[in-house]
Structure formats: C-alpha cells, structure tokens
Structure 1
Amino acid sequence: MVEPDPKADLHRYLQDAREALLWKLDGLSEYDVRRPLTPTGTNLLGLVKHVAGVELGYLGDAFGRPYFDGEPPPWWYTQDAETNADMWATAAESREQIVELYRRAWRHSDRTIEALALDATGRVPWWPEERREVTLHHVVVRVIAETHRHAGHADIVRELIDGAVGELKGKDGTPSGGRAWWESYRHRLEQVARQVGDG
C-alpha cells in the first residue's frame, strides 16, 4: 500500500486549480480577458491578478516569507491601495505581466509548502487578532478553496465570452449535445423556472 502524502495531495489540488484558472485566458483577445461581465466587474485577468495576491499573502507574508523585496505594487493590500485594485488590470499592466506574476507566486508558494511542515504556524496580519495564528495546512486548504472558487467564476465568465466550458482544454465534463441540444435544454430550464416562479 502506498503511504499517503497529505502535502502532495494538497499541492496537486492547488496546481489543478491554478491551471484551470489560467486556461480560461487561452485564445482570447486583450479586450476579452479584461472586459467586465458582471455588475461587480468580474473579469478574467482580474481574477488571475487577485489569486496571485492571495498566494503571495497567505503563503508568503503570513509565514514570514515576503515576496516583494522593496515596496509592493500599488494594488497590494495596503491602506493606500485603491479599492478592488487587485481585481482588474490597468492599461499599464499587460496580460503577460499578470500571468508571469501568478506563475512566480506559484513558485514562491511552492517553496513555502516544501520548506515547512503542515503544522508550521504563521500569522495572517489582516485577520482579527484572535484568529491570526494559523497552520500551513489551514492556509493551503484556504488557498485551494479560494483558487477553485475563482476558477468557477472564470468558467462562467469564459462561457459568456465565447461558450468555452470545462476545467481544462478538451476536458469540459458536459454532455456532448451540440448547439441545438443546448438551446433546447436552456429553453426547457427557462420554461420550468417561469412555471414555478409564476406559480
């Protein structure tokens, strides 16, 4: 029997979520990766930028392993940062810069995960004082959950842009009914919603 490796299991789930999120940018124009598709402005590149910050904060700063040598970028979680600045890319921030920041965040996070035991303790400075002390295990689970949550947001945003769905390219996990089938299916759901909603 193979001995379980909890750290490797957690890392695999984290990496799956990272790759699923980044795949949602593939093949899209600069406009499409930036365009806000919800009333609160959710956009693909902003989700990647946000999750890069999540990793750098939780798996860097919280364990005394800061990523930035000098001043962090203006969108970083400081009192001077513009509200929601981590949820969109400015015109001066290219897709390549944001994606590379995320990939560097992965590497930084991976070094933290490799270097520390799962029961190693850290402190999350932006949490209430009574909850600030955490274990690496707790933080890795939190980052996995957050990344998968935002990968789900990206799923919906990407589908709204061009209809592409699924966790990874060629692995969409949906019935293969074709366009007519999906239109009929959606129409049926709309009818049921109206019937029950009006009832």
Structure 2
Amino acid sequence: MTLTDTAKADLHRYLQEARDALLWKLDGLTEYDARRPMTPTGTNLLGLVKHVAGVELGYLGDTFGRPSGEPLPWLADGADLNDDMWATADETRTDVVGLYRRAWAHADATIDALPLDTTGRVPWWPDDRAELTLHHAVVRVIADTQRHAGHADILRELMDGAAGERAGSNSLPSSDPAWWKAYRDRLEQAARDAVGPGGGPDGTP
C-alpha cells in the first residue's frame, strides 16, 4: 500500500466514523424527536443529517466537477436561510437518511477516483480563494461532520439520556445512572465553590 493509499484509508476511516456516529443518534427516536428543535437556534438531529449530506455532495462532488444530480432545493438561489438545517413535514427521516447515504457513496467515489493533490474549485467561495485540494476538502468535511456529530450527541443526551460515540462502544467511564448523578453533583459543587458564597445560578451558596 502506498503512502497515498494509506492517507486515503485514514481519512476515510475518520470520515466514516463521524457519519456513523451522527446517524446512530437517530436510532430509536420518534419522528417528532428526530426533528424537533432543541436549542434557541433550532438545532435538531434530522436537520444536522440533512446539512452534512449537502456538505458532502458539495465539497466532494461539485467542487471537483462531479455533480451528483441530487436535487437540493434548500441550497438553491431563493431558498430561505438555514433551510438545510431542518426537515420539512414532507421530508421523512427515510428521505433524509437515504440522501445522506447516497452522498456517502458519491463522496467515496470521488475520494477513490482522484489523487489527494487534485485541485478543485468551491462554487460558493469567492473566486480569489476558491481553489483547494481534495485532501483539504476531505479534511474539511471530516471536521464539519465531527462537529455536528458532537452537536447530535448533546441533543440526544438532553432528550433521553442516551450518550456515547457508537453502539457497543460508547467510550463512557460508567453506565450507572447513580455514578453519573454523583459525578454531576460533584461538578456542580466545584462550580459553586470556584466563585464562593452567592455564586450559584440563583445567588445561593
């Protein structure tokens, strides 16, 4: 295996781990919980998946002259701001997840077909800095997907307490709710102790 092959394998491994982690956060959820906004800025699980699907098709497709042919009306001229960050009532979870899996396949084909030093042009970047290599594009997509997988981890924990990186290996130090309660209480006390008397969120010691 050449150094280039090894580099591609490493990049693909970390990209796929991020993809799998993000989709795992949808497992077992109702249609409502999969799409309901959980933060003041509307962050929601299915919207994150929809967003990263567009990211992959853009950076690892269009950028290198390999359009997927997938219709993405939420990215078209005239679409409302943030339309790629939530799923409409007509866009089912099956639709969005299916799009994401097709985006994987299209992106992986681009990675397999082109050398990492291949130069592409990002259509939505300013012309004077629109060029980037495939290596740069893959790293960018990994960073974006991992960031949103982290968002998804927190959203899912807020919903039902489920946490961790992936099924069968959540990388958490304990699965005992009592341990976590004691741990959280210890952190809360440390936060209060750090600011002294009256430092609690309600002015209490």
Q: Which residue matches 2:86? A: 88
Q: Match of 1:9?
A: 10
**Matching residue's letter, 2:39:** T
Question: Which residue identity lines up with residue 160 of structure 2 in the other structure?
Answer: D
Question: 1:75: which partner in 2?
Answer: 74
Matched letter for residue 30 of structure 1: E
Contact 2:25 2:45 in 1 (8 A): yes
Deviations 1:102-154, CA, capped at 9 Å, x for gaps: 00000010111111100001001211222200000000000011111111111
Q: Deviations over 1:18-51 (max 9, x none)?
A: 1111111011111111111111111110000000
Give 5+ residue unaligned stretches, structure 1: none
After superposition, where does 1:167-182 map in structure 2 within 5 Å? 167-176=165-174, 178-182=176-180
How far apart are the structure 1 equivalents of 2:175 and 2:51?
35
TM-score (norm 2): 0.91
How big is each residue's C-alpha offset from its partner over 1:80-99, in whole Å with a ceiling of 9 and x where there is no partner?
11110000000000000000
* Alpha-carbon contact 2:174-2:180 (below 8 Å) kept: no
CA contact (8 A) 2:54 2:72 kept: no
Regions of 4+ moved over 6 Å? none
Unaligned runs of 5+ in 2: 200-205
Cα displacement (A) at 1:177: 5.4
TM-score norm. by structure 1 comes to 0.93
| 2:108 is aligned with 1:110 | yes
Q: CA RMSD in A?
A: 1.4
Cα deviation for residue 174 of structure 1 reads 1.1
Q: State the Cα distance separating 1:79 from its structure 2 match.
A: 2.7
- Name 2:146's counterpart in structure 1: 148
**Structure 2 CA distance for aligned equivalents of residues 48 and 138 of structure 1:** 22
User: Do 2:49 and 2:100's aligned partners in 1 also have CA atoms closer than 8 Å?
Assistant: yes
Deviations along 1:156-195, whole A, 9 cap, x unmatched?
0111111111111121111115111111111111111122
Give 1:66's aligned amino acid.
P
- SS of residue paired to 2:78: coil
